[in-house]
Amino acid sequence: MKIAFTGAQSTGKTTLLNEVKYILPDYSFIDEITRSVVSDDIKINEGGTDKTQMLIMKSHFKNSLISNTVMDRCALDGVVYTRYLYNRGQVTEEMMDYAEQVFESIIDTYTHIFYLVPEFDIVDDGVRSIDIDFRNQVVDLFNKYIEECEVPIIRITGNLQERVTQIKEAINE
């Protein structure tokens, strides 16, 4: 199985990933890749560039080759955030095309994509964007891609334990 948690910032993906480690101990776990690319010359969130998105999409492609894994984010996240940046003229058309090609080529490799809708206030952790308008625009793009590309997601909601229960039920079907 290849499981991914997807959704806008501050929706509980990392918290959920850490909790699922207890129910799937034989799996590999891949932390969010976006934070790993941050440096003085590589910005994320609203400041992303072609370089940022290229590194992120290449990581999504590489991660798609790993079996029995649970990921904090997937190619859907990458293409959504690239689209946000493209719409604002921050990434080129070539980068947008590349992101969509990676997305289209690997989206079907995930056995379960759990989409976490925003149910909580944004928590400032010093890295993620705390701009609610940014998050709302990203959520709109997630909904657009999910609908238009018919991405087979499983929406999960509720508190941490309710979400874990929903995951257990979905992977045991």
Q: What is the pLDDT of residues 53-105, one digit of tens each?
A: 999 999 999 999 999 999 999 999 999 999 999 999 999 999 999 999 999 99
**CB neighbours (10 Å) of residue 173?**
6
What element of type H or E holds 75? helix 75-87
Q: Mean pLDDT, to the nearest integer, of 24-43?
A: 78
Give residue 152's pLDDT band: very low, low, confident or very high (50, 70, 90).
very high
The model's confidence at residue 126, banded by pLDDT at 50, 70 and 90, is low
What's the mean pLDDT in 131-139? 89
Distance, in Å, from the CA atom of 64 to the CA atom of 147, rounded to the nearest integer, reads 22
* CATH number of the domain enclosing 76: 3.40.50.300
- What's the total number of domains in the chain? 1
Helix or strand holding residue 24 (H, E): none
Which residue range forms the structural domain that includes residue 66?
A: 2-171
| Mean of pLDDT values over 46-57 | 90
